[in-house]
Structure 1
Amino acid sequence: LTDAQISSWIWALSVGMGVTTLGLSLLMRVPIVIAWSTPGAALLIASLPGVPYPEAIGAFLMAALLMTAAGLTGWFDKLMKALPASIASALLAGILFRISVDVFVQAQHQTLLLLVMFAVYLLGRRWWPRYAVPGVLVIGVALAGVLGQLHFEQFHFAVTMPVWTTPAFSVSAFVSIAVPLFIVALASQNIPGLAVLRADGYHVPASPLIAVTGLASAILAPFGSHGINLAAITAAICTGPQADADPRRRYMAAVVCGIGYLVMGIMAASIAALFAAFPKALVVAVAAFALLGSIANGLTVAMQTPAERESALLTFMITASGMTLAGVGSAFWGVVGGMLALLVLKPREPKSA
C-alpha cells in the first residue's frame, strides 16, 4: 500500500469510530464506544498478501454488509439475551486482565518509571480518585522526558486526505477475507463489547448497534476501512466508575472519546507519530491503571452467583489466556467454554409435583 492509502485507512476507521461513537452515545445517553476490529487487522496480515487491493476493498464491503444483515435481522440480540451476567462479566474481566497484566512485565525493564507511576496512582486514588489516571499520565510523560525516553524526531503535523478505491469482487476474496472478517469481528469484538455494556449495567438492544456499525463500515470501506465494531477495552474505561460516579453521566466520556477519534482521523499521521514517541511501558501503565476498576467490577459480578462461579472462572481463564483457535480469539472461546461448563455444571431446578 502507498502512504496515502495507509493514511486513508486510518482516516476511514477514525472518522467512522468518531461519528458512530458520538451519534450513538448522544442518542441513547449510554457510553457506547466504537472501535476498529483489532482481530480483523491481525487476520488481514495473513489473508491480504497476494490479493489485489480493489478486491480486498470489495471483501471489506461484503463483510460490512454481512454485519449489517446480522443487526437488522435481530438474531444477534437474541444471542446476547441468552448470555448470563456472570459469563459476560467474566469475559470482560478476562479481556481487560490480559491487557493490564503486561504492566508488571514492563516493570522488569522500566522499573523506575513504573514504580513512580504506581505510587502516583495509589496516592491519586487515595486523595483525588477521579484524577488518578490523568495524574499518572502527566507524571509519567514528565518523568519519561527527564529520563530521555521521549522521541519526537519523527513527529510532524499533517492533515490526512481520504483516498477512494473502487471495490472489485471475487469469490476467493469473499471466502478468504470477507467471511472470516465478519466472523472474527462478531465473535471477538461485538460479543465482548456487548458484555462490557451489560457488566456495567447498560442493557441496550444489540441489533441496532450492530446494524449501525455495519452500515458505517460499508460506507467507509472504499476508503480503506476493514470494519468498525463495538469496543471492549476502550469501552470499559468509559462505562466504569472511573469515568463518573453517576452511571447516567458516563456517556459524556464516550462523547469525549468520539471527539478524540475525529481529531485522530484528521491528523492520523501526526497522532501515530505522537504515540510512537512515548515509551511502551508508559502507554501500557496508563491503560492498566485506567482498567483496574472495570476488572474488579467484572470479577465481583462474575462471582456473585455460587452456582455459576466455576463457569465464570473458566470463562475468565480462557479469555485471559489470549489463545487463538481456528483463527478466532480467546474472547469467543471464553464464552463457548463458560456456557458449556454452565450447561453441564449448573444444578437443574427441581420439577414441580
Structure 2
Amino acid sequence: MSFVRDLSVSAASAGFVATLVGFTSSVALVFQAAQAFGASEAVIASWMWALGLGMGLATAIPSLILRKPVMIAWSTPGAAVLASAGLGFDLAQATGAFMLSALMIVLAGFTGWFERVMNRIPMAIAAGLLAGVLVNFGMAAFSAAQAAPLLVLAMLATYLLSKRWLSRYAVPLTLLVAVAVAAVQGGIAWSEVAWDWAVPVWTTPRFTWQAAVSVALPLFVVTMASQNMPGVAVIRATGYQMPISRIISMTGLATLVLAPFGGYALNLAAITAAICMGPEAHPDPKRRYAAAVINGLLYVLIGLFGAAVAGLLIAFPKELVAAIAGLALLSTIGGGLVAALQDEAHREPALITFLVTASGVTLAGIGSAFWGVVAGSVALFVQQYGRTRTATRT
C-alpha cells in the first residue's frame, strides 16, 4: 500500500501537531457557540462527533485519493460569530441557518466563482497573506517563554540541535522533549481525560428569515473570507495544485449532512494546513499527504471518543501548544516571506498584505485575512494599473 510506504515519523508528527494545534486553539470557541444556542452537554458532545468525523473524513479520504494534503477544519471565526450572533435563537433555528450557509458554500464551489477570484490574486500577495496568518503563531512560540521558561527553552534547544543533526525529525523530537518536561513539571492535566463515547444527537432544523440574516449569512461570509481564502493561499504558496472548487463543494455538502448533529461549518484549513504542507512534514512534497491522512484519522478519533480525546488534547499546557505550533511553522513563515518579497514589482503590496493580515484587524465582523488581501490588491492596482500600457506607448 503506497500510503504505508509514504508514511514517516515526521509526517505522523506533523499530523499530530496539526491536530493538537487545531483542536486546542479553538475548541473553547466551539463550546461557546454551542452554548449560545442553549446546547446541553449531550448536544455539545454531538457537535464534537459531527465536527470530528466531518473534518477527519473530508481530510483523509481526498488526501488518499489525490495524494496531496487536503486539509479541512471547522470554521474558527464562524464559531466566534455564532457565539455572539447566536443569542436569541434556539438550536432548531441555528441548525436551519447552518444548512443555509452550507448551501451557499456548495453554490460557491459548483459555480467556481470563488476559485476564479483566487486565481486573480498574484502569488506574492498570497504568500504575504500566508506569512501574515502564521506570524503570530511564530511570535507566540517565544512569548510563551514568559509563562513557562524552562519548557520553552528546552523545546527551542531541542529544535535547534535537531535541525543541525536530525533536521527531518526536529519537530517530533521537540514534541517528545516538551511532553517529557511538562510531565516532570506536573503540567499535564490527566484528570481532564474521561473515556466516554460521543453519541450523535439529531436536531430538526427550522428555517426562519431572522436566523438566515443574523446567523447563516455572517457564517457564510466569515467562513469564505477568513478561512477558505487563507486556506487557498496556503495551498498555492506551498506549490500544490488542487481542484479548489470541488473541495469547497465537498465541505459544503459535508456541512449540509452533518448540520443537524452540530456540524456548523467545515472549510479549508490554513494554520494546520501549513503544518502538514510544509517541509517539516516531509522533504518530498509528494509524500506530505501522509501527514494530512494522520491528521484526518486523529480527527475521526476525536469524533468517536468525543470527550476522551478532547480531554487528552486539552490536558497539554497551553505554552507547549503555542511553542510547538510556532516552531513547526518557522520554515513555512520564512518561505512565505521570501516568496512575498522577492519580486520587487509586487513587494510593497505583498508587504501591506502581510502587515494588515498580521495586525488582526476586524471590520464589519470580517477578519484580517480578507482585509489583508483587499489592502494588498488595492495597493497593487494603484501602483501597477496603466504602467504596462504607458511603457508600451513609450
- Quickly name the TM-score band, shorter chain normalised: over 0.9
Q: Aligned equivalents of 2:304 and 2:240: distance in 1?
A: 31
Aligned residues of 1:20 and 1:213 also touching (Cα < 8 A): yes
Q: Aligned equivalents of 1:236 and 1:268: distance in 2?
A: 25
Q: Aligned equivalents of 1:5 and 1:279: distance in 2?
A: 27
Q: Is 1:182 equivalent to 2:220 in the alignment?
A: yes
Matches within 5 A, 1:314-353: 314-346=352-384, 348-349=387-388, 350-351=391-392
Q: Which residue of 2 aligns with 1:5?
A: 43
How far apart are 1:205 and its partner, in Å?
Answer: 2.8
Q: Deviations over 1:18-42 (max 9, x none)?
A: 1111122122221110000000000
Aligned residues of 1:98 and 1:322 also touching (Cα < 8 A): no
Q: Is 1:208 equivalent to 2:246 in the alignment?
A: yes
Amino acid at match of 1:108: Q
Q: Which residue of 2 aligns with 1:91?
A: 129
Q: Aligned equivalents of 1:251 and 1:259: distance in 2?
A: 13
Aligned residues of 1:154 and 1:273 also touching (Cα < 8 A): yes
Q: Is 1:107 equivalent to 2:145 in the alignment?
A: yes
Q: Deviations over 1:41-70 (max 9, x none)?
A: 000110111201100010001000000000
Q: Is 1:134 equivalent to 2:172 in the alignment?
A: yes
Structure 1 residue aligned with 2:351, among 310, 313, 316? 313
The answer to which of 34-43 and 12-21 deviates more is: 12-21
Amino acid at match of 2:377: M
Q: Which residue of 2 aligns with 1:191?
A: 229
Q: Aligned equivalents of 2:207 and 2:131: distance in 1?
A: 40
Q: Which residue of 1 aligns with 2:64?
A: 26
Aligned residues of 1:155 and 1:274 also touching (Cα < 8 A): yes
Q: Deviations over 1:320-341 (max 9, x none)?
A: 1111111001100110001011
Matches within 5 A, 1:245-264: 245-264=283-302
Q: Deviations over 1:268-318 (max 9, x none)?
A: 211221122211101111111111111011111111210100110111111
Q: Deviations over 1:112-149 (max 9, x none)?
A: 11111100010111111121111111111111111121
Q: Percent identity over the alignment?
A: 51
Amino acid at match of 1:351: T
Structure 2 residue aligned with 1:277, among 315, 337, 358? 315
Q: Aligned equivalents of 2:384 and 2:328: distance in 1?
A: 34
Structure 2 residue aligned with 1:267, among 305, 309, 317? 305
Q: Aligned equivalents of 1:32 and 1:205: distance in 2?
A: 10
How far apart are 1:352 and its partner, in Å?
Answer: 5.0
Q: Aligned equivalents of 1:226 and 1:10: distance in 2?
A: 11
Q: Aligned equivalents of 1:344 and 1:148: distance in 2?
A: 56
Q: Aligned equivalents of 2:114 and 2:150: distance in 1?
A: 47
Q: Aligned equivalents of 2:123 and 2:341: distance in 1?
A: 10
How far apart are 1:153 and its partner, in Å?
Answer: 1.5
Q: Aligned equivalents of 1:283 and 1:169: distance in 2?
A: 39
Q: Aligned equivalents of 2:393 and 2:304: distance in 1?
A: 63
Aligned residues of 1:63 and 1:178 also touching (Cα < 8 A): yes
Q: List runs of 5+ in structure 1 lacking aligned partners.
A: none
Q: Is the partner of 1:101 in helix, strand or coil?
A: helix
Aligned residues of 1:80 and 1:206 also touching (Cα < 8 A): no
Structure 1 residue aligned with 2:86, among 48, 57, 61? 48
How far apart are 1:154 and its partner, in Å?
Answer: 2.6
Q: List runs of 5+ in structure 2 lacking aligned partners.
A: 1-38
The answer to which of 126-135 and 167-176 deviates more is: 126-135
Q: Which residue of 2 aligns with 1:71?
A: 109
Q: Aligned equivalents of 1:154 and 1:321: distance in 2?
A: 34
Amino acid at match of 2:62: L
Q: Aligned equivalents of 2:293 and 2:317: distance in 1?
A: 27
Q: Is the partner of 2:158 in helix, strand or coil?
A: helix
Q: Aligned equivalents of 1:42 and 1:77: distance in 2?
A: 25
Q: Which residue of 2 aligns with 1:217?
A: 255
Amino acid at match of 2:378: L
Displaced runs of 4+ in structure 1, greater than 4 A? none
Structure 1 residue aligned with 2:161, among 123, 126, 130? 123
Q: Aligned equivalents of 2:275 and 2:309: distance in 1?
A: 20
Q: Is the partner of 2:192 in helix, strand or coil?
A: coil
